[in-house]
Amino acid sequence: MISWLSLLYLFTYTVAEPAKPTPIVLWHGMGDTCCFSFSLGTFKLYLEKQIPGAYVLSLRIGNSVIEDLENGYFMNPNKQVDYACDALAKDPKLQDGFNAIGFSQGSQFLRAVVQRCGHKVGPVKNLITLGGQHQGVYGLPHCFALQHETCDYVRKLLNYAAYYRWVQNSLVQATYWHDPLDDTTYKQNSEFLADINNERTVNQTYVNNLESLEHFIMVKFDNDSIVQPKETEWFGFYAPGQAKKILSLQQSELYKQDRLGLKKMEEDGKLVFLSQPGDHLRFTEEWFSNNILKPYLL
């Protein structure tokens, strides 16, 4: 005789749902809702259409879209990351894991989420960053429109104030301002970037959480007029002491000393470097589908 328990088992087994697609979490860039021609709302709909049944969460930092927009400029990233960690840990739909896509500054914020709370939220499988500033920025949007000398002067000026504590606390972009001419001050005073890049000490939790990703995919925009230097999108940056020569990730001390586990990740085939010919965040659906969606999201 079949017991009711085994019947229950049989029932559960037979009607078990087909595997749900992996959810996706998005984090927008600075000023996204107002200024970019590229809209995240449209992108969410696109993903939902391409991956039927997928849960797509576009992170809103704050209680309204307006707050979210303002927080992109004025809410300290450490607080934004805490906020996101909390929201992700509470979301029942994300408990079995998810893929994460960051846009522009949302890239380094999502990487911080992985590093700081990857062990507390559903496992993050693939981290995809589009035009992220992993080594920070040392330049102004559309700086190319100015005379080179003027631009350099303004950069120096901003740099003079960027590491003041009140500026670090109140202006998001100052927390990933990276002055190659004064590496020591950057490492000591950058409240966000120097910390998540393990510049002061090596936080092993950051390393372990990052290494538990399946892939870390970085997309660079070769004609980027907003992010300076564009190589930061692949974790490269100016060599310390000057602002012309660029070191790739592989040439950097961060990599050679493997302070963040990126060398190990590359050896394990987990780092993926992709590039696009256009300006910041410009790509076609076809490119996204072939290079990101099919290999990592489906």
Ligand X SMILES: *[C@@H]1O[C@H](CO)[C@@H](O)[C@H](O)[C@H]1NC(C)=O
Residues marked active site are found at: 104, 224, 280
280 binds ligand X (CB under 6 A): no
- For every residue of 124-144, DSSP letters joined together read EEEEEEES--TT-B-S-TTGG
Q: How far is the CB of 115 from ligand X (least distance, A)?
A: 7
205 binds ligand X (CB under 6 A): yes
230 binds ligand X (CB under 6 A): no
278 binds ligand X (CB under 6 A): yes
Instruction: Return the structure tokens found at 62.
Output: 């704050």
Q: How far is the CB of 118 from ligand X (least distance, A)?
A: 9
Site for ligand X in 139-168 (CB under 6 A): none
> Which pairs with CB-CB distance under 8 Å and at least 24 residues apart come from 163-171?
163/189, 163/190, 165/189, 168/76, 169/76, 170/74, 170/76, 171/73, 171/74
In this chain, which of 45, 241, 268, 277 binds ligand X, going by CB under 6 A? 277
In this chain, which of 150, 223, 275, 290 binds ligand X, going by CB under 6 A? 223
Using CB under 6 A as the binding criterion, the count of chain residues that bind ligand X stands at 7
CA distances from 107 to 20, 51, 171 (A): 26, 22, 17
203 binds ligand X (CB under 6 A): yes
Closest CA to 114 of 207, 8, 6: 207
CA distances from 211 to 100, 114, 123, 131, 297 (A): 15, 10, 12, 21, 19
Residue closer to ligand X by CB (options 22, 78) is 78
31 binds ligand X (CB under 6 A): no
Interface residues with ligand X (CB under 6 A) are 116, 203, 205, 223, 277-279
